[in-house]
Amino acid sequence: MPLTLDLPTLFAQLETLGQLGAEGSRAGRTRLALTDAEKAGRDQLVAWMRALDLTVEVDQLGNVFGSLRAATAAGDEEPLMIGSHIDTVRQAGALDGCYGVLAGLAIQRAFREAGVAPARRLVVAAFTNEEGVRYQPDMMGSLVYAGGLSTEEALETIGTDGTRLGDELARIGYAGSLPCGANPPWAFLELHIEQGPVLEAAGKRLGVVSGVQGISWQRITLEGEANHAGTAPMAFRHDAGYGAAATIAFLREQITAAAPGTTLATVGSLRVEPDVINVVPQRAIFTVDLRDPDEGRLHAAEAALAEFLTDLVAREGLKVTQERLVRFEPVRFHKGLRARIQRAAEAAEEAPFTLTSGAGHDAQMLARVAPAAMIFVPSVRGISHNPAEHTSEADLALGAEVLLRVVEDCLAVPLGVQP
């Protein structure tokens, strides 16, 4: 009997989860990792997992796994994992991450409703702190799962609000006992909204993701000297606020202009001190997010920024501190799994589009320990990390159907054979 997805339940769950942490229709929802709002999201997810009679496990970093047991003990040894995240940025849409997790539950539900046990254990994972807003690095839960950061180091992370990650994890009741990365999957699949404009512009409803671009995050602090806005001549100033503004302009006018369409630069957080109308800023603290699909170009952008800052501080009489928050090289996904996604899309009568992901994803971390791949559906106007994030129900349904077909295709591979 072919498996069928209960799409109304998938859409209803997206709606319900999207209400948790909601701050009014214009403000979207905010479920920063390990806050009370995110705990509410976790509790809801675990309740849905239990309602499907899944085996629920939580690891030492709070990654949540819901397993549908295989038909045989051998099948339990080689799980197929579907995963993403349910934490959000500030004022987020309802789909980023949640779509991939809840589509995974929809597939497990299809097995339950058909009364069929899968040939391989089917695990749905929700990884801790994918967004990296409160604690850096982003994709932290999957990074630790994949062995790229120790559990101990991650638990010691201090957040932007001064909290210790391990304390917050314990406080919300999600400090589990399972060692991180205890059961690496046979393969990992992540379904996600594109969060960019590429599919829509190409008139495509499905994307096969070739890989994820490199990501470099740093925090830069410029120290100058506070002075009176009315008495300090311009040439006498050591204006940290000017330094931040000059850096932002340099990123836009030199770094991204030198590699149009490939290097991206964002200053998403900026604070000046003392933050007063008639005082020359003494300190500016800002973040720089640099991305490029090519490691060489990303490296060149980082070097050009460092050189600019050296000149700037010499010229303006400032001091600079650069702190590295995140550095991930570009990742390519598994060829065989990508081919399976391509075939499943074609079977659904969609010629998919191949594209690189601009956003970071848990799948890029899982790719370190298992064959991994991703499916994208379009984002209307390419908007994401914004309450206006939207994908039509028809496209959400198509993505979930294709994921189901890929899962079935993977489950048909005999045990002991690579994907």
Which lies closer to Mn ion via its Cβ, residue 282 or residue 379? Answer: 379
Q: How far is the CB of 390 from Mn ion (least distance, A)?
A: 15
Closer CB to Mn ion, 78 or 96, in the complex: 96
Q: Which amino acid is at 76?
A: D
Is 378 an interacting residue with respect to Mn ion (CB under 5 A)?
A: no
Please count the CA atoms within 13 angstroms of the CA of 88 that sit on its side-chain side: 33
Closer to ligand GLV by Cβ: residue 360 or 387 = 360
The least distance separating ligand GLV from the CB of residue 134, rounded to whole angstroms, comes to: 13
Q: Which one among 59, 96, 190, 292 touches Mn ion, defined by CB under 5 A? A: 96
Report the residue number, 208 or 413, with the smaller CB distance to Mn ion: 208
Q: Determine the Cα–Cα distance for residues 182 and 194; give it in Å rounded to an integer.
A: 30
Task: Say how many residues touch Mn ion, by CB under 5 A.
Answer: 2
CB closer to ligand GLV, 215 vs 309 = 215
Closest CB to ligand GLV among residues 148, 336: 148
Instruction: Report in angstroms how near the CB of residue 280 gets to ligand GLV at its nearest.
Output: 33
User: Distance between CA 242 and CA 227 in Å, rounded?
Assistant: 13
From the list Mn ion, ligand GLV, none, partner contacted by residue 243 (C-beta under 5 to 8 A by kind): none
Interaction partner, residue 168 (ligand GLV, Mn ion, none; CB < 5-8 Å by kind): none
For 377, residues 6+ apart whose C-beta sits below 8 A from its C-beta are 99, 191, 192, 193, 194, 199, 205, 206, 207, 391, 395, 396, 398, 399
Of 115, 10, 142, the closest CA to residue 53 belongs to 115
Determine whether 76 is exposed, middle or buried from the number of CB atoms within 10 Å of its CB (0-12, 13-18, 19+). middle
Residue 97 binds which one of ligand GLV, Mn ion, none, with CB within 5 to 8 A depending on kind?
Mn ion
Using the rule CB under 5 A, which residue among 97, 176, 196, 207 binds Mn ion?
Answer: 97
CA proximity to 367, closest of 215, 140, 190: 190
CB 126, min distance to Mn ion, A: 11
CA distance 70 to 81: 12
How many angstroms separate the Cα of 396 from the Cα of each of 97, 207, 377, 400?
13, 12, 7, 6
The smaller minimum CB distance to ligand GLV, of residues 133 and 318, is found at 133
**Which residue is at the shortest CB distance from Mn ion?**
97
CB 120 within 8 A of CB 79: yes
Region from 47-55, 96-104, 300-308, 394-402 binding Mn ion, contact rule CB under 5 A: 96-104
Whether residue 274 has a cis bond before it, omega within 30° of 0? yes
Min CB(287)–ligand GLV separation in Å: 11
Identify which of residues 98 and 312 has a Cβ nearer to Mn ion in the complex: 98
CB of 187 to ligand GLV, least distance (A): 22
Binding range to Mn ion, per CB under 5 A, among 18-26, 90-98, 119-127, 306-314 = 90-98
Contact of 160 with 285, CB cutoff 8 Å: no
Pick between residue 314 and residue 388 the one whose CB is nearest to Mn ion. 388
Q: Which residue has the tokens 């209400």?
A: 19
Q: Which of ligand GLV, Mn ion, none is residue 360 near (CB under 5 to 8 Å by kind)?
A: ligand GLV
Smallest separation (angstroms) from Mn ion to the CB of 268: 12
Residue 177 CB, shortest distance to Mn ion, in Å, is: 27
Point out which span in 34-42, 95-103, 232-240, 314-322 binds Mn ion (CB under 5 A).
95-103
Binding site for ligand GLV (CB under 6 A): 131, 138, 359-360
Residue 138's binding partner, choosing from Mn ion, ligand GLV, none, with beta-carbon cut-off 5 to 8 A by kind? Answer: ligand GLV
Pairing of strands 283-292, 122-126: unpaired
Q: How far is the CB of 14 from ligand GLV (least distance, A)?
A: 18
Interacting residues with Mn ion (CB under 5 A): 96-97
